[in-house]
Structure 1
Amino acid sequence: MKNYPGILSPDSRLLMKWPEISLVAREKRCELTLNSIPVHNRKPSINDEELQNQIFAVNKSLNYIELAGLNITLLHQCIGKASKLKKLILYNNSLTHIPEEIGGLKELVFLDISMNKIEELPNTLGTLSCLTTLLLANNNITSLPDISGLVSLQHLDVSHNQLTDFPTLFCYQSKLQTLILNSNKIKSIPSEIDALSGILKTIDVSDNEITDLPFVFCNFSKLKTLNLTNNKFSDQRFNKLVQSPRHKTSMLIEYLKKRAPNKCAENKKLPLGTDVTAANDSASDSRIITIDVQLTKEVAEIRPYIASCIFKNCSLTAEKIKHLLNIQNKLHSTICCDRTIASIGTHDCSNIQPPLTYAAVNPDLLMITPIHHHKKISGREFVSTLGNEAELSRELVKRNVVSDIYKYIYLIQRLPLYPCLIDAKDLVISLPPVTNCDETKLQEDTKDIFVEVTSTASESKCVEIMDLFVKEVVEQKCLTNLIIEQIKITKDTGSLLVAYPSKNNLQLSGITIKREKTIVEV
């Protein structure tokens, strides 16, 4: 047998019969990969300790070692002698213990020991100052050692373990960007996580037992992904939002901002469910409504434009409600061209749970309680029923003319998806241009009115119609001393779609405009 220098000792003749090792030795490679076939099933066979002694102790030149799916049960102390290692992959084995000697791998940048049976990690793991990625998923780990020495760590995955406490021993000026802790038994997230607010981009704590979220998450300016599904949040509205498949991280953060006192940083230890009304008397005035408008290809072909605002502190009577609806109907017949170009919707804000989503939904899945109805029906059933009623109406009057809502159903009847506005409780509040829902209809005790204009024509047409609607409401003295709160609609890229009213809108006397109060996301 030829003596291959560098990787193996002259006495390792058995190992040299393994093709992977023979190739590394023959070509003096710095990478070794052994996987799939357990060590004891190889020909010739060799025990774990002898294999590791030859690979780790003698072969100083290796910088990449992957031993995966070999059913290795023990990582031996000789691992500490592989001082040049930069990447060590030991996933999908049967390891129960990691020796202290792993702290000797001072140049290690990537460590994967996921899919093993490890219960405890050595303290020396926290001294690997070059480590950028640490993968510990699918083990039986109950706690982490002090990892404040991992000054280069950017990605940490401890998912599918037995953690009960959220790890907090991160280094000062940490570089951590991704933290994966899903499928553990974590009950709370401490406010100390604020130390990572300027760097973390991804946090996954789904499938845990978390009941509250600290308001410090309001400060996480770079956070792109926050997965909180399948927890036990005491705030049921927040829990509903978390579970919604349409939610986005920005929507969760905006909800927190709505619930938080004026300065999140001053209230780090307040959990999500805390009543902050006393701490912030002006909370109702700075209420945040978030609308997520998903401009998919289908939506763009159906009804892609929207503008919104809020009429604040309205004093309604039955006569004023009738007057307001008459103004809407007049505009529907004129500038909206019988709703073929645009439609207007008005809603009682108190019955809407922000954030809102403007989307296109399968008509069989869209469930709505149409206005003046008392039970939910699917969008398809609603439109079909209206169509049948329209035909019956034509026959009764013996004219090819229908009235009211019947004449609008053709606008969506043949669409593959129906446009709709949905709140955080999955309440469909409108199905434009046909109907609003009964739950948000205006009542005499309505104080704040959410107004939406949707269109198939253009964003400028939405703004033009909204301008005219406000003008008519004011000039006809339907609502006096009107306060209008601006809503910003932005795309998920962060770019602004529309802010209404902008500084160029509503040059009218007798109204007050509040801007920068409400943020809406598309």
Structure 2
Amino acid sequence: MAAAAAAAPVPEAWPELELAERERRRELLLTGPGLEQRVRAAGGRLPPRLFTLPLLHYLEVSGCGSLREPGPGLAQGLPQLHSLVLRRNALGPGLSPELGPLPALRVLDLSGNALEALPPGQGLGPAEPPGLPQLQSLNLSGNRLRELPADLARCAPRLQTLNLTGNRLDSFPAALFRPGALPLLSELAAADNCLRELSPDIAHLASLKTLDLSNNQLSEVPAELADCPKLKEVNFRGNKLTDRRLEKMVRGCQTRSILEYLRAGGRGGGRGGGKAHGPEKEEARRRRRERRRRESGEAEDEEVGDAGRMLLRVLHVSESPAPLTVRVSPTVRDVRPFIVGAIVRGLDLQTGNALRRLLTSQTKLHEELCEKRTAATIATHDLRAVRGPLLYDTRPPQDLKIVPLGRREVKAKDLVRQLQLEAEEHRKQKKRQNVSGLHRYLHLLDGKESYPCLVDADGDVISFPPITNSEKTKIKKTTSDLFLEVTSATSLQICKEIMDALVLKMAEISKYTLENKEDGSVSDTEADALSGQLPEPSANASADKAGNASLVVEQVRVVDEEGHLRVVYPSKTDLGFAAPHVTVIR
């Protein structure tokens, strides 16, 4: 008996689950070297106890080579889940049981697994009623998928971003492009697959803005692609197109030129075989495009006079006397890989309550578009204190040093520990479970062996996303020029969309300040209390002779270690918002 008792397996401990249950946490991250052994002991599944935490909004389990399936109980046990990140595991060949229904899920990341198919019962969820009715972002990149579920659009009808890069797909299901199937889909990435054809029905994606089908086996591009009313960026490089002229254009021309060529009847495939359409067909196509614009809410409003508009003048890198560059280290790939930067000059946030309005707007962006910083994080800096070029890198917690806003220099690991203690004390004082301020984002670093950071030319860390900025680049009331950064572990497109929203908000606040002079302003001390991470801009806006308020948005280049361009913001496809009182001058 004693020997048998001694030989009995000891249940694996899950202290993270105990802590999450005790503190009624809404976010949980499981990663690190000890995770693989515990999951293996659980049969290659997540522990059943995890599915007894119904308050969870965010769950991430990453880098676990022994995780083959989530396990039963996820859908029933986590009904409030907003974000589910299961990347770089060993999920596959299917999902058993299927994930859904998850009625509140908005972000699903299954990238870097071993998924081969997602058939009914072993996929994302049921189609009727929709298993993922609120899903906005789906990342299936880096798997082994040979086909997509035919009912994907019915399962996730509100999908906005779909990443299929690096699979083995040879076609899209016809139902994906059925009229009205995915009315909100704005980004479709399916590079590095085996796609042989693209259906003309892709024109039914009324909200499509970005299409990446590079490095496939396409021989033709349907002319109907030019009918997508919002399409601004396409990538067909690495395909063997039969139309030699189009082949050259996709390697070196802008999207507008490619679409105009297709619209004029170029031999991209489909209508006309290279012959120009007659006036009747061209007029019919024009009417179709107008109808789609109306259906997608993009019908042009009546022209608004230029007087009283806010002017955003884009300053290109080639026009800047001292352009700012951000170099990205390859080590950020597995931590927080995406970053977009921009410079805004000429803000007046010293007058009235403009500073408070901006801080409130940034907080709202963090809560909503940034999904409480789980999707992305905003940081703003006083440009005068920023010494470029900048390096976006990672460092171990014990090596990363920063002077946080309102604090002395500290190592990242000690700062996180201090904030955890403050959060616990805050809970006790307020006698409630939730915490406020940047304490709410500490869970995003749980289990990370390295932390992301932005380093200036002096070697000083000026940003530690998603936690804090540095006191060195803190924005004061006298600040007029700002460096903005948006980082994300999810998507480059999310970074761009949030940067668009931030710049638009700055423009609106600056215009309001110019037109409504107010008394009173926010002090630097008050700004610290309001901002948490986000510092506060302020300074002197300008107006042209016609009375239009004006800001300058200067491009910032993000390059890789060899100096190759990764992204520049704002590009020609950015700042495309339809704001009636804002005009972008490029």
TM range (shorter): 0.3 to 0.5
Q: Which structure has more RCO (C-alpha within 8 Å, separation ≥ 6)?
A: 2
TM-score by length of 2: 0.42
> TM-score, normalized by length of structure 1?
0.47
Rg larger in structure:
1
